[in-house]
Each structure stands twice: as C-alpha cells, then as structure tokens.
C-alpha cells in the first residue's frame, strides 16, 4: 500500500534552498551581539515559537508550525553554544579548566544529541494498519515460526505466552510455536552442583510436558553459548519457516499480531523486519514506587515506541528491539543469524541488515503485552545491558562509518547509540554547581545579564522543542529523574565497555517478581551520598553569598540550579523505596459488560472492571451479590478477538463493597484446554484494548504542573527513608540495650564452670 508522503520538490531546488539558507542561518548563529541585543533578538523568536505551539492542535507532526519551532529552537541553541564556546570558557588553573571543559563537553554532547533528535523525530511516520483480509485471494501465505527464548522464567508465565502465541489468528498449518529453553540445556543438566542439575532436569521435564500439552515444540541445546542470540541461532537450525517471530518469555501477543505484520512481507520483498511496540502492563519501579500514575502518565517506553521509533521509521532506520517483531528468515540467514558481537544482538542485527540495503518497518500498534522490571535493581540490570550493548555497537560497528548505510540511517543509529552516553552529561550537570558552591570552581564564566540573554532563552527554546516533539509521550522533568537514577550505575558499565568493548556479558532481566514487604533498595547508598552533597551545596552557596558580595548574582543562579538538582535527586530517592508487590500477574482495566452464572443457576449482570492472567474483578449490583468466598461461579464475557462469548469457571476469592456495587475478586479455575485458551484470549487477545489504554495516557502535562508535582514528590521520599532509618536505629538501640542483660548470664555460666 503506498504511503502518504509530503510532496517532494526536485532535488536541485531543495539543495539550492538549503545552500541559500545555511549561510543566513550560520550568520545569525555566529553574529556577535551584546546581551541586550541578544535578548531583544531571542525573545521575539520565543514569542513566535509560542505562537506556533498554540497552533499545533490540528496539525500533524512535520507540518509548517512544527518545523518552524524546530528551526527557531535550533537557532537559539546554536547562538547559546557559540556564546559558551567564545566567551565563557576562560579560566585559570588546571582544576578550574578541567571542570569548565567537562561541563562544556557535557553541554556540547547534550546539544549534539538534541540536534540529532530533531532530525530523527522531525516527522514520525504513521504506517497504515494492513490486514491479511485485504490480500488478493490466491496470495501465498508464508509459514511462520514463533520463537520464545527462555532462561529461568517459570512455567506459569511461559504457558500464558505460548497459549497466546498459539491463539494467533493465522492458518494453523502455517504457524509453529517453539519454546527455546536455555535453562534445561545439556550443560545445565550436567552442572557439577547436584541441586542445580536436578533443577535443570526438572525444568526440562516440566517445560517439555507443557509444550506437548499445548502443541508447541520444545527446543534446547547442548551448551549455553552467546546467550539469547546463541539460543535463537541454535533454534534456527531446526526450523524452516519463511518468517520468524521472536517473543520474550513474558511477552504475550494479541490474536491479530500476524494479521497486521505479515502483509508487509508479502507486499515488499526487501523488508527484513516488522517491529511493533512493547506494551507494558505493569508500572516500572519509578512509576510504582514514586509517581503511582500508571493509568494516567505515559509509560517510560512510550516515548521510544510512540515517537522515536516512528521517527526512525521515516528515515528507514527503525531497528529490532529483541522481541515483538517479525523477521524474514532469508535475510537473517544472509548475515548468519542474529549477530553476537554485542549484548544487544537485536540492534546489531538490524544494523547489519540495513547495511545490506534491506528495509525495516515499524507498526506503531501495541500488539504485545510485556512486563516491566518490578524492582529498581532489575531495572538497573536491564538498563545497564542496553547501555553497554549500544556502546559496544558504537565502538565495534561504528555506524557513522559503516558501509551501506544512507546518511539519514547513520544519523538514526548515532542518535540511538549516543543517547546511552548520557550518564557522563547527567553527572556533569549534577556536580558542576557543587564544584562552584563548595570549591569555588568557576565552571560557568558569565554575568547574570548574559545568563538571562543566552542561557534562559536556550532553556525555554529547548523545552518548547522537546515538548513539541515528545509532549504527549513524556511528561516534563520525568526524563531527568530516570536519567539520574541510571547515571551512576550506567556510567560504571559504560566505562567498562570503553576500556574493553568485548568484555560485557549478557544479563537476564528478572521479571514477574513479587515483593513481600516494603524495603529500601540495596542500591540506595550512592543516592544518599548525592543527596548529602547537594545539601552541602546549599550550605556552601549561602556561605558564598555572605562572603563574596561581588559574585552574588552568579551564586544565586547556581543555587537555583542546585535547587532543581535537589528536587530531582530527592524524588529519585522515592524510587529506591521499594513498595511491596504481592500480585505476580498485573491487572489491566477493562470496563466491559458480562454476566456471572452462579451455582444456583442465577445470571447476574456485571461489569468486568479489571483482568489479569489469573482472574478478574467483577462489579455486581449490591442486591444480587450473595456469593461467599470459595464459591464456584462462571464468568461469561464477550471476547472481541474470538467473536463469541466465553464462559470461564472462576472461584470467588474476594467480596467487598465499592461505591454502590460489590466487587467480586474471581480467580480463573479452568479445567479444559478450551477454557484456558479462552481465559488467555479474554485477558490478552485484544490489541484495541492496549491501544485504547495507551491513547488515554498520551496527553500533554503542563510544565508548571510538572514542577508542582516534583515539589510535592519531595516530602514523601524523605519521610519514607527517614522512617526506615529511624526504625533501624531504634532496632539497633534496643539491641544494644539488651546486650548488658545477656553479659551477666554469660558470666554466670563461666563462673559456674
């Protein structure tokens, strides 16, 4: 199906226009001006940007107002960085110069990444949602192999994933599902530790039986080599389908996944990949522990999957994300299977295939539901792997020089990979104000007037542009919290890669954890130190205000900078307070009508309020609810993907009033294969539900509301951490108080001896 693209002017005219505009653009960027002239020039530009922002409502991304905002924002930013380079780097002494250059390098990095991001996200592509029904009657349907690599995931989780994969709407003789078990390999079974060997044997036996029951194929291998990529490559030797679907162990597909992805391969022979978003059905630790707004705020990965991947897709450089994707087997074979030089085999393989001139497609419709890491430690493991893997590709594959790539693909890959170097910049932005406030290091040689003329317009322009591009999928200031949380650990991981690019090993992200009680993350210590340093910065700043009246302007500005850091660093403490999580299968809101059939034959109308892999919460009228705990009932609800009502036996596990109705907690108790399949399809089969949920979260959040939220967030983490510290201190004190009582007893024993 032809895509709707903007009208293209002849290449000559485009080039001439660009060449004519470039000198003007550069002239304005480099034109020396004093502070007043700069301010009078930039404020109207910001006024124009503001006007454009208010005119965006009925304009799609890439329109005139979008472009104008980006051009003006770039202009203001370039003027800022030029001024920084020319007038603010003068310093004396090695210590001063080093800090000044580190901060400047961090700014250059951020602005460079920002400019790359502008190109990438200038025109996010909206692909049409193709369907198999639109194909001509005699079209040959390709055979599909679904691969579910697993390492240590439990059988219950894998059962849901396999059932959903088998329930996909596709000709059954053309679809095969394989479980690739790396936890039951020959190597694991021959483990010298008898306990581990027995567990591996047991796992192999259980999963093989599960596959036999469901109609899937169980595959394992001799040795655990090259982690996930090795597992998949090993399985490729046993399968021969035209297309390969890769799903993580916790990734549950909707029934229409193949219906919307396979037609792309039939229409275009040069497409090697159709990637779809990973839709997370549980909050990540930042959301769960701190923000608690899973159903209101866009998820962290929405920015990537709803904006950046679409932007990359416009430039033919959307890449494989390890799961929720379909790959063409023939193309994969050309590069010898998934690449294994880095620990992010997905992006590396996509890069290799892009280099060969094949195309990728990104379908921005959520059709795969997965789990986000539950704990902060698991979150950090995942992010460290991504940071290390992308840095490995940057160093080993060098996309900026790689042959076969178009210039825009190089920009796309560089933007995706350079992003992961953010820990250097983030730490520089955190520590620079402290260097000035505590040690008097002049990291930023500028007067207050210059800051107002150059820095403030740059910050406003930067915010306006970022908000224009990502406003719907990332609330203001949230990125700062995520970056602060990752920067310390990712920095260490990246330095390891820089020292030895081939050293990092693949780490499996733990998923589906349950937490019995609240606790402080074991990774909290560096953040306590950071908080303490920021607090000391305030003391140093006040001292400088008092002692150095001539630099009061600058000190005030740096104190404000430190105040912003304080709020974000304290907010990040809230993430480190891990809240208990007793439910292993997350619930998603549903709000669909249904009935509950009781053992007595009554039929109560209900509203299915939420649903998970294990059960539902149903709201029934108060007068009709006579179910006691452990009663067996049947839930009858309409399943859109199946096109019929499903009837699932459930056990009543909870019964409590909600407003004017009774909420019944029902646990699925399926007895037949059909019922079990129906339960999975009812819970996870409908992609429209994920899209609806996602769209409701995609909305802009005003800047001042975000600031207010940040300020309000500060109180809670401090109270939580102080509470735990106080509890520990009291426990310690009571322990000490008990010690003297124990000593005489010891003495008595020794005396009697």
Partner 1 sequence: MNFQRMESFPPPDRVSGLPPSSKPSNGDEMMDPRPEWLATAHHLFLRTERKLTAAQKFHAAVMGTFLVSAMNLVFLFQHNPAHENLWFALSLFLLLPSVVLVPFTWATRRSLSRKRNDLARRFFEQGLSVDPLGRLVTLEAHSKVVLPLPAITESPPAELVAKRQAA
Q: What's the min distance (Å) between Cβ of 357 and partner 1?
A: 37
Burial of 195 (0-12, 13-18, 19+ CB in 10 A): exposed
Q: Mention every residue, 6+ apart, whose C-beta is less than 8 A from residue 716.
A: 574
Q: How big is the chain by its Cα radius of gyration, in Å? A: 29
Helix axes 94-120 and 422-439, enclosed angle (nearest 10): 140
Cα separation, 128 vs 260, whole angstroms: 9
Q: What's the min distance (Å) between Cβ of 727 and partner 1?
A: 41
Q: Backbone phi, then psi, for 228, in 5-degree steps?
A: -65, -40
Reply yes or no on whether 181 is catalytic: no
- Closer residue to partner 1 in complex, CB, 43/141: 43
Q: Does 169 bind partner 1 (CB under 8 A)?
A: no
Q: Which helix (H) or strand (E) holds 95?
A: helix 94-120
Q: Which tokens hold the place of 144?
A: 């599909």
Q: Does 439 bind partner 1 (CB under 8 A)?
A: no
Instruction: Identify the sign of the CA torsion 635, 652, 586, 590.
Output: positive
Q: What's the min distance (Å) between Cβ of 700 and partner 1?
A: 13
Cα separation, 624 vs 634, whole angstroms: 15
Catalytic residue among 284, 287, 302, 346: 346
Kindly indicate which of the ranges 119-127, 131-139, 397-405, 681-689 contains the residues binding partner 1, using the contact rule CB under 8 A. 681-689
- Closer residue to partner 1 in complex, CB, 405/455: 455
Kindly indicate which of the ranges 42-50, 115-123, 281-289, 563-571 contains the residues binding partner 1, using the contact rule CB under 8 A. 42-50
Of residues 506-535, those binding partner 1 (CB under 8 A): none
Q: Does 657 bind partner 1 (CB under 8 A)?
A: no
Q: Mention every residue, 6+ apart, whose C-beta is less than 8 A from residue 345.
A: 227, 228, 229, 322, 338, 339, 389
Q: What's the min distance (Å) between Cβ of 168 and partner 1?
A: 19
Q: What's the min distance (Å) between Cβ of 645 and partner 1?
A: 15
Cα separation, 54 vs 722, whole angstroms: 44
Q: Which tokens hold the place of 22?
A: 């470039």
Q: Does 55 bind partner 1 (CB under 8 A)?
A: yes
Q: What's the min distance (Å) between Cβ of 257 and partner 1?
A: 16
- Closer residue to partner 1 in complex, CB, 237/644: 644
Q: Does 126 bind partner 1 (CB under 8 A)?
A: no
Which one of 37, 190, 498, 542 is in contact with partner 1 (CB under 8 A)? 37
Q: What's the min distance (Å) between Cβ of 57 and partner 1?
A: 5
Closest by Cα among 33, 35, 77 to 451: 35
Q: Which tokens hold the place of 27?
A: 């002239």
Catalytic residue among 145, 181, 182, 306: 182
- Closer residue to partner 1 in complex, CB, 219/588: 588
Q: Does 591 bind partner 1 (CB under 8 A)?
A: yes
Which one of 182, 374, 610, 686 is in contact with partner 1 (CB under 8 A)? 686
Cα separation, 197 vs 103, whole angstroms: 52
Q: What's the min distance (Å) between Cβ of 85 and partner 1?
A: 25
Q: What's the min distance (Å) between Cβ of 243 and partner 1?
A: 28
- Closer residue to partner 1 in complex, CB, 507/636: 636
Q: What's the min distance (Å) between Cβ of 457 and partner 1?
A: 11
Reply yes or no on whether 182 is catalytic: yes
- Closer residue to partner 1 in complex, CB, 54/500: 54
Q: Does 47 bind partner 1 (CB under 8 A)?
A: yes
Which one of 32, 44, 90, 732 is in contact with partner 1 (CB under 8 A)? 44
Cα separation, 511 vs 375, whole angstroms: 9
Kindly indicate which of the ranges 39-47, 187-195, 341-349, 718-726 contains the residues binding partner 1, using the contact rule CB under 8 A. 39-47
Q: Does 46 bind partner 1 (CB under 8 A)?
A: yes
Cα separation, 309 vs 324, whole angstroms: 14
Kindly indicate which of the ranges 38-46, 497-505, 523-531, 703-711 contains the residues binding partner 1, using the contact rule CB under 8 A. 38-46
Question: What HEC string does 412-443 produce?
Answer: HHHHHHHHHHHHHHHHHHHHHHHHHHHHCCCC
Q: Does 689 bind partner 1 (CB under 8 A)?
A: yes
Beta strand pairing call for 615-621 and 144-150:
unpaired
Beta strand pairing call for 661-668 and 615-621:
antiparallel
# chain residues binding partner 1, by CB under 8 A: 28
Q: Does 58 bind partner 1 (CB under 8 A)?
A: yes
**DSSP letter assigned to residue 510:** P
Cα separation, 499 vs 37, whole angstroms: 47
Q: Does 43 bind partner 1 (CB under 8 A)?
A: yes
End-to-end Cα separation, the chain, in angstroms: 94
Kindly indicate which of the ranges 136-144, 203-211, 365-373, 682-690 contains the residues binding partner 1, using the contact rule CB under 8 A. 682-690
> Cβ distance 245 to 366 under 8 Å?
no
Q: Does 587 bind partner 1 (CB under 8 A)?
A: no
Which one of 13, 560, 629, 688 is in contact with partner 1 (CB under 8 A)? 688
Kindly indicate which of the ranges 93-101, 488-496, 587-595, 674-682 contains the residues binding partner 1, using the contact rule CB under 8 A. 587-595
> 3-class DSSP state for residue 616?
strand
**DSSP letter assigned to residue 333:** H
Q: Does 129 bind partner 1 (CB under 8 A)?
A: no
> Cβ distance 578 to 285 under 8 Å?
yes
Cα separation, 309 vs 60, whole angstroms: 17
Burial of 250 (0-12, 13-18, 19+ CB in 10 A): buried
Strands of the sheet with 368-370, listed across from one edge:
252-253, 368-370, 279-280
Which one of 302, 592, 609, 678 is in contact with partner 1 (CB under 8 A)? 592
- Closer residue to partner 1 in complex, CB, 273/453: 453
Cα separation, 152 vs 712, whole angstroms: 40
Q: Does 50 bind partner 1 (CB under 8 A)?
A: yes
Summarize the chain as % helix, strand, coil (round to 5): 55, 15, 30
Which one of 25, 28, 29, 39 is in contact with partner 1 (CB under 8 A)? 39
Q: Backbone phi, then psi, for 593, in 5-degree steps?
A: -75, 155
Cα separation, 557 vs 573, whole angstroms: 25
- Closer residue to partner 1 in complex, CB, 135/456: 456
Kindly indicate which of the ranges 51-59, 415-423, 479-487, 735-743 contains the residues binding partner 1, using the contact rule CB under 8 A. 51-59
Of residues 602-641, those binding partner 1 (CB under 8 A): 607, 640
> Cβ distance 398 to 372 under 8 Å?
no
Kindly indicate which of the ranges 112-120, 272-280, 467-475, 585-593 contains the residues binding partner 1, using the contact rule CB under 8 A. 585-593
Q: Does 731 bind partner 1 (CB under 8 A)?
A: no
Q: What's the min distance (Å) between Cβ of 624 and partner 1?
A: 13
Which one of 29, 48, 210, 563 is in contact with partner 1 (CB under 8 A)? 48
Burial of 263 (0-12, 13-18, 19+ CB in 10 A): buried
Q: Does 726 bind partner 1 (CB under 8 A)?
A: no
Which one of 526, 593, 654, 702 is in contact with partner 1 (CB under 8 A)? 593
Q: Does 68 bind partner 1 (CB under 8 A)?
A: no
Question: What HEC string does 621-671 produce?
Answer: EHHHCCCCCCCEEEEEEEECCCCEEEEEEEEEEEEEEECCEEEEEEEECCC
- Closer residue to partner 1 in complex, CB, 223/696: 696
Q: What's the min distance (Å) between Cβ of 425 and partner 1?
A: 31
- Closer residue to partner 1 in complex, CB, 578/592: 592
Instruction: Identify the sign of the CA torsion 650, 652, 655, 661.
Output: positive
Active site residues: 182, 346
Give the residues lining the site for partner 1 (CB under 8 A). Answer: 36-37, 39-41, 43-44, 46-48, 50-51, 53-55, 57-58, 591-593, 607, 640, 686, 688-689, 691-693
């Amino acid at each position: 199906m032809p895509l709707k693209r903007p009208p293209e002017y002849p290449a000559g005219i485009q080039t001439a226009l660009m060449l004519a505009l470039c000198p003007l653009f550069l002239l304005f960027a480099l034109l020396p001006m004093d502070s007043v002239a700069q301010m009078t020039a930039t404020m109207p530009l910001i006024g124009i940007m503001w006007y454009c922002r208010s005119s965006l409502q009925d304009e799609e991304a890439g329109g005139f107002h979008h472009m104008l905002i980006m051009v003006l924002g770039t202009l203001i930013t370039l003027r800022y960085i030029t001024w920084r380079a020319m007038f603010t780097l003068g310093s004396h002494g090695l210590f001063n110069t080093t800090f000044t250059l580190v901060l400047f390098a961090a700014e250059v990095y951020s602005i460079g990444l920002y400019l790359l991001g502008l190109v990438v996200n200038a025109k996010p592509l909206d692909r049409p949602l193709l369907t198999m029904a639109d194909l001509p009657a005699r079209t040959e349907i390709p055979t599909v192999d679904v691969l579910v690599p697993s390492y240590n995931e439990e059988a219950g989780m894998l059962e849901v994933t396999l059932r959903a994969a088998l329930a996909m709407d596709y000709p059954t003789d053309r679809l095969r599902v394989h479980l690739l078990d790396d936890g039951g390999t020959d190597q694991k079974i021959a483990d010298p530790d008898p306990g581990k060997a027995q567990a591996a044997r047991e796992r192999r036996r259980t999963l093989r039986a599960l596959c036999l029951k469901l109609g899937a194929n169980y595959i394992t291998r001799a040795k655990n080599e090259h982690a996930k990529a090795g597992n998949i490559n090993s399985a490729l030797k046993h399968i021969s389908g035209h297309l390969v679907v890769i799903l993580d162990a916790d990734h549950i597909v909707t029934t229409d996944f193949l219906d919307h992805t396979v037609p792309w391969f039939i229409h275009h022979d040069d497409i090697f990949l159709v990637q779809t978003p990973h839709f997370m059905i549980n909050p990540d630790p930042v959301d769960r522990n701190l923000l608690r707004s899973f159903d209101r705020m866009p998820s962290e990965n929405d920015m990537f999957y709803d904006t950046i991947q679409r932007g990359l897709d416009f430039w033919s450089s959307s890449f494989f994300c390890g799961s929720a994707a379909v790959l063409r087997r023939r193309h994969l074979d050309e590069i010898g299977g998934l690449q294994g030089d880095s620990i992010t085999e997905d992006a590396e393989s996509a890069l290799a295939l892009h280099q060969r001139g094949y195309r990728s497609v990104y379908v921005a419709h959520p059709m795969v539901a997965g789990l986000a890491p539950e704990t902060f430690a698991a979150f950090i493991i995942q992010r460290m792997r991504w940071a290390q893997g992308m840095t490995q590709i940057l160093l080993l594959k060098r996309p900026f020089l790689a042959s076969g790539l178009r210039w825009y693909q190089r920009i796309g890959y560089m933007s995706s990979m350079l992003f992961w170097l953010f820990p250097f910049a983030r730490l520089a932005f955190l520590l620079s104000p402290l260097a000035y406030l505590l040690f008097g290091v002049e990291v930023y040689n500028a007067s207050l007037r210059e800051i107002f003329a150059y820095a403030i317009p740059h910050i406003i322009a930067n915010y306006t542009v970022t908000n224009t591009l990502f406003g719907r999928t990332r609330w203001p200031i949230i990125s700062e919290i995520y970056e602060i949380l990752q920067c310390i650990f990712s920095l260490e991981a990246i330095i390891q890669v820089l020292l030895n690019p081939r050293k990092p090993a693949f780490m499996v992200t733990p998923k589906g954890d349950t937490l019995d009680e609240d606790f402080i993350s074991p990774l909290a210590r560096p953040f306590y130190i950071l908080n303490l340093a920021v607090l000391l910065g305030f003391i140093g700043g006040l001292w400088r205000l008092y002692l150095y009246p001539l630099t009061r302007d600058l000190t005030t500005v740096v104190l404000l900078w430190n105040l912003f850091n304080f709020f974000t660093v304290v907010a990040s403490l809230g993430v480190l307070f891990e809240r208990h999580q007793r439910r292993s299968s997350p619930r998603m809101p549903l709000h669909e009508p249904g009935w509950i059939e009781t053992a007595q034959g009554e039929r109560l109308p209900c509203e299915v309020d939420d649903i998970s892999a294990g059960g539902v919460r149903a709201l029934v009228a108060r007068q009709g609810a006579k179910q006691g705990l452990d009663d067996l009932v049947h839930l009858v609800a309409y399943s859109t993907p199946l096109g019929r009502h499903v009837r699932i036996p459930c056990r009543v596990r909870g019964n409590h009033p909600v407003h004017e109705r009774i909420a019944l907690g029902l646990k699925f108790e399926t007895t037949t294969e059909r019922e079990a399949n129906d339960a999975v399809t009812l819970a996870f089969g409908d992609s429209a539900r994920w899209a609806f949920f996602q769209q409701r979260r995609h909305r802009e959040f005003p800047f001042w509301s975000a600031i207010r939220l940040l300020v309000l967030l500060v109180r809670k983490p401090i109270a939580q951490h102080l509470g735990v510290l106080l509890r520990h201190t009291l426990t310690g004190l009571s322990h000490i108080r008990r010690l003297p009582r124990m000593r005489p007893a010891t003495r008595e024993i020794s005396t009697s001896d």
